[in-house]
Amino acid sequence: MPDMEMINALMNKVIKSDREILYPSESDAVLDYYKIPQPKWMTTGNNVEQAVQAAEQIGFPIALKLISPDILHKSDAGCVKLDLNNSPEVEHACHDILEKAAHAHKTPRIEGFLIQEMVKEGHEVIIGLAQDVTFGMIIVFGLGGIFVEILKDVAIRKVPITPADAMDMIEEIKGYKILKGARGKVVANIDLLKDMLLKVSQMGMEQKQITELDFNPVFVDSHRALVADSRIILKG
């Protein structure tokens, strides 16, 4: 298990290397330290063969993502492929992602591929941190997709939050009824969401170098809440 010293060293290393966004392996260490669960995943270098092997090891279906510090919005750039069911699909997707990356950026640095267990069950929620000009570090919670992006249906607090604050945040969003299983949807485990909000709040208190953090999406169903994609950005 990573300890605080290791996390600090990791953050300092990233800042010194003039990079703002953490690589998946670094985010993984931070999430591990805070005991925030993720789907199974592996990274490989820029090597299609290795990516296929990793996918076989994790088991299909998988999600495939490009690792590049130059492409921030990976989905928008076409550098994320979901629901790949066999090795030929993975191989094809790797080539396609590399092609898309070349369109998105003149000379993208390609660190490799992230291969992740495909989680489809449950609700998609977003949990994040940001620096507010008035209040300092704030924590944000909402349902994923259009709920946050278009409807702005979010709950916001200043960190640190209390367990009651976490509960209020979850109950406050209009989408709460959906999490509770409206229209035959799976019932989300509210305790796990609460727990994750508290852990992210603690991270916001302890990791002062973080300027923005997005867990998007977090998949939550009745028995687990997993961070399927994380983006941690440090002060430049």
Partner 1 sequence: MKHENNLLNNFFYPKSVAIVGASADPKKSGNALVKNYLDYGFKGEIYPINPKADEILGLKAYSSIRTVLRDIDLVVFAVPAKVVVKVIEDCASKNVKAVVVHSFGFAESGPEGKGYQDRLVAVARESNIKVVGPNCQGVMCVDSKLPWSRRSTFPEQAGHVSVISQSGGGGGSFVNLADVRGIKFSKIVTIGNECDASVMDFIQYFGDDPQTRTLFLFLEGFRDGERILDVVRPASVNMPIIAYKTGRTAVGAKAAASHTGSFAGSIEVYDGVFKQTGIIRAESLDDGLDYLVAFENLWFGDKQIQGYRVGIVSGPGGPGVAAADAMVESGLSVPPIAEASKQRLKEAIPGATAANPMDMGDFSLVGKLKEEGPYSSMSRIMSEDQNIDILVVIGPGEFNPEGFRDELYNIKRFCEKPLIVIWPSAGGNVETCKKELREADFALFDTQERGARALGAVKRYDSLRSRIKREVEGA
Q: Which residues of this chain interact with partner 1, rule CB under 8 A? A: 20-21, 72, 126, 128-136, 138, 140, 148-149, 152, 154-158, 160-162, 164-165, 168-169, 172, 211-214, 216, 231, 233
Minimum CB distance to partner 1, residue 50 (Å): 29
For partner 1, which is the closer residue by CB, 42 or 232?
Answer: 232
Minimum CB distance to partner 1, residue 136 (Å): 5
Minimum CB distance to partner 1, residue 168 (Å): 7
Tell me the three state secondary structure of residue 97: helix
For partner 1, which is the closer residue by CB, 90 or 139?
Answer: 139
Minimum CB distance to partner 1, residue 175 (Å): 15
DSSP codes of every residue in 147-179: HHHTT--EEEEESSPPHHHHHHHHHHSTTHHHH
DSSP state, residue 21 = B
Per DSSP (E only), the strands in 20-122 are: 41-44, 62-67, 80-84, 112-117
Question: Which residues make Cβ contacts (< 8 Å) with residue 235, sequence separation at least 6?
Answer: 15, 20, 209, 210, 211
Closest CA to 158 of 140, 183, 182: 140
Closest CA to 125 of 154, 164, 160, 103: 154
For partner 1, which is the closer residue by CB, 28 or 214?
Answer: 214
Minimum CB distance to partner 1, residue 169 (Å): 8
Give how far Cα 15 sits from Cα of 8, 18, 148, Å: 11, 5, 30
Tell me the three state secondary structure of residue 25: helix
For partner 1, which is the closer residue by CB, 40 or 199?
Answer: 199
For partner 1, which is the closer residue by CB, 44 or 216?
Answer: 216
For partner 1, which is the closer residue by CB, 39 or 69?
Answer: 69
Q: Tell me which H or E stretch contains 210.
A: strand 210-220
Minimum CB distance to partner 1, residue 67 (Å): 16
| Residues pairing with 214 in the sheet | 128, 231
